[in-house]
Amino acid sequence: MIGFIIDCKDVEIYLAAANDAIEEAKKVKVDIAILPIVSRCTMDEIEAAGLINLIKPSVVIPTHFEDIIGSKKNLEKFSSLIKSPIKIVVK
């Protein structure tokens, strides 16, 4: 498992890379979180939403949906589980 915290001009970003909702990830305090919501080796959209609702970043950028695996339905499920005022940003 690997994840990164990037500190950029008073904005902290968590890049979950190939990470699951591990104990260390549950302690992250950041402004922006970038994490997979569909993967064979990491968290799914339900686990990812749970992590985001726990760490409460201002912005979340979900990844890996509509990739080799997954679909837009994964994004819709993830989005439906996110509590306000967390903003979800997708391309």
CATH architecture of residue range(s) 2-88? 4-Layer Sandwich (3.60)
Is the predicted pLDDT of residue 80 greater than 80, yes or no?
yes
Alpha-carbon dihedral sign for residues 91, 74, 39, 19: positive
Between the alpha carbon of residue 2 and those of residues 10, 53, 67, the distances in Å are 23, 20, 20
Q: What is the CA radius of gyration of the chain?
A: 12
Domain definitions of the chain by residue range:
2-88
* 15-60: pLDDT as tens digits: 987 777 878 889 999 999 999 898 777 788 999 999 999 999 999 9
User: What pLDDT is stored for residue 69 in this prediction?
Assistant: 78
Residue 73 — very low, low, confident or very high, per pLDDT cuts 50/70/90? very high
